[in-house]
Amino acid sequence: MPDASLPDLDRKTAREKYGPWAVIAGASDGTGEAFARQLAGVGVNSLLVARRPDVLESLAADLRSQYGVETRILVQDLMEADAARNMLAASADLDVGVYVSNAGADGTGSHFFEQPVERWLRLATMNVMTVTEATHGFGARLLKRGRGGIVIMSSGAGLGGTPFLSMYSATKSFEMVLVEALWGELEKSEVEIVGVIAPAMDTPLVRRHVAGQGFKLGHFYAPDEVVREALASLGRRPLIMFPADRRPPPDEVLKDRYDQLLLSLEAGKSFFPKGQKVED
């Protein structure tokens, strides 16, 4: 259920803090499309990044027509080593106020040792290297402008090793831990970050994966609901987990992580003050 204590992102806040442009990695459909539509609904323009040009063009045209916003597209495979550099270059002339890292799904779970290692390296490139480089690049730009937001879509699979999703769960755990650490480092700035421990969602990717299997999606979350929660949570908590119908931290899992994060933050301040060189 939605957290009723969180107000929806309003147009004034969106334009002043997160506008005028968003960069959405993995924007073709499902959760990425939901981010683009909800941001467009409060007047934020979008650079849409994904692999399929036809889907991107259709979404971009629809956003312009329905919401009156500006759009750009970047056809980019986020598993390629140059993905983050290309996103940063394509948005170099834009005043970007929010970066959304939404890509990273592994739609076909399989045995780790029965697949070529190149498959897992490509997944690691997308969920570790691309996320790291893009977050660093856009985060530095947001700090320079003095405000903005970063949303990183992780997964419940990252809470522990998931058999047959081994590399996916490992890389999603990386994303969660990175968000927690950056949340602490950004605490005195006006740049906000939130990580989403995404639940099972009714997306086109999931529907394609379970087609013909008689799988029921009734208990899956709608992408619109998850995205609404993610945008509303910016600046309020480091991680969100579903169901998100209680105040942060919403359950015992997040409470334990949050308590440890506060201890780690204080330890980091004590042992690694800004500018201190740590010798080997």
**CB-based contact 169:120 (threshold 8 Å):** no
Q: Please count the other Cβ atoms lying within 10 Å of the Cβ belonging to residue 164.
A: 13
As given in the structure block, the two tokens for residue 10 are: 């309003």
> How many alpha carbons fall within 13 Å on the CB side of residue 246?
10
d(CA 194, CA 178): 10
18 is known as an active-site residue = no
> Out of 18, 67, 168, 258, which one is annotated catalytic?
168
DSSP state of 99: E
- Provide CB contacts within 8 A for 82, sequence distance 6+: none
Alpha helices in the chain (DSSP H): 11-13, 30-41, 53-67, 83-90, 117-124, 131-145, 166-185, 204-210, 223-233, 252-271
Q: In whole angstroms, what is the distance from residue 119 CA to residue 39 CA?
A: 33
Structure tokens at 24: 């959405």
Separation of alpha carbons 98 and 152, rounded Å = 11
**Which residue bears the tokens 């190149």?**
118
Catalogue the active-site residues: 168
